[in-house]
Amino acid sequence: MPRKSPLVIGHRGAPGYRPEHSRSSYELALAMGVDAVEPDVVATKDGVLIVRHENEISGTTDVAEHPEFADRRTTKRVDGEALTGWFCEDFTWAELTTLRSRERLPEVRAASASFDGSQAILRLRDVLDIVREGSSEHGREIGVVLEVKHATYFASIGLDLAPLIARDLREAGWADGELPLIVESFESTVLAQLKSLGVAASYVYLIEAAGRPYDLLVAHGAAGQTYNEAVTASGLDALAGVVDGISVDKRMLLARGNTIVADAHARGLTVFTWTCRPENRFLAPEFRGAGGKSAYGDYEAEWGVIASTGVDGVFVDHPDLGVGFFRG
């Protein structure tokens, strides 16, 4: 009996072709056949949820070209790391509407960068509407995989993300379980908060290949569980029944001899992985080819290893390639 193909999730839309989190990125992903799209959620000063890869926005917008915002440039510590730039929580939504999106990786994705300056920042509500409309247009149910970013940091500055997310999901009709919704975060604390607020979703714990989640570091210091400890037998035992699944860095599934997927499945947990990309820059060394970092390497060989683990979902930057490979 053939193995069921994994969910193909458009990672921030279709950022292999359009600036991530832009309207055209999401619309292209839907047209290319994804099962779901993944918005990253952060907040403005006035509590509006927007979709950006990070709360520092100089890499994905033209904010640096706006002299009226020059004095907003600052240095902050986010999840323990010093970052310098412009931060969404220092702007109102009205101010952010004056900015335009740009390609985060122009040296790798020059074609996508050609769309710089043409599209506004989106709110979470906008993405939910795009997906709902796209489901109707394309005649299939399309889901949302909502990633909560930097929840502990935002709470520390008086912007609790969980109630804001619950508000937007309820107002958009996405919180009652009628539409396919997955909520994920590298911080388990905010997942528990959203669950307690009655948001009906599948909850997925994001896991890095190294390090320790910031919420547990703040709560427990060096005694806080590491990401690697979360995928041990005892770590997975503790997650079973608390979350519905895990989503791991693809390097963990490419590591020889790993049994993460089988171990998680044995405990009733689904497993996703991120991020399947074809360019040499993002491939494991053994799958890279000629032509430099922006050229495509032997991505099908890498993705074949990932698929062979029995993973339940994959995040892709090029939805047409992901759909073609994982459903082929």
H/E segment holding residue 74: strand 74-78
Record the pTM: 0.97
H/E segment holding residue 299: helix 299-308
Q: Which two tokens stand for residue 54?
A: 């990070």
- In angstroms, rounded to a whole number, what is the distance separating the alpha carbons of residues 144 and 49? 15
Please report the pLDDT score of residue 41 as a whole number.
98
Q: Which residue ranges of the chain lie beneath pLDDT 50?
A: 1-2
- In angstroms, rounded to a whole number, what is the distance separating the alpha carbons of residues 156 and 222? 20
In sequence order, the 6+-apart residues with CB closer than 8 A to the CB of 213 are 186, 187, 188, 224, 225, 227
Please report the pLDDT score of residue 310 as a whole number.
97
Strand 181-185, strand 49-51: pairing: unpaired
Terminal-residue alpha carbon distance, the chain = 15
- In angstroms, rounded to a whole number, what is the distance separating the alpha carbons of residues 89 and 49? 10
Question: Helix (H) and strand (E) counts for the chain?
Answer: 14, 12
- In angstroms, rounded to a whole number, what is the distance separating the alpha carbons of residues 11 and 262? 24
Please report the pLDDT score of residue 4 as a whole number.
74
3-state class percentages of the chain: helix first, strand second, coil last, to nearest 5: 40, 20, 40
Three-state DSSP class for 326?
helix
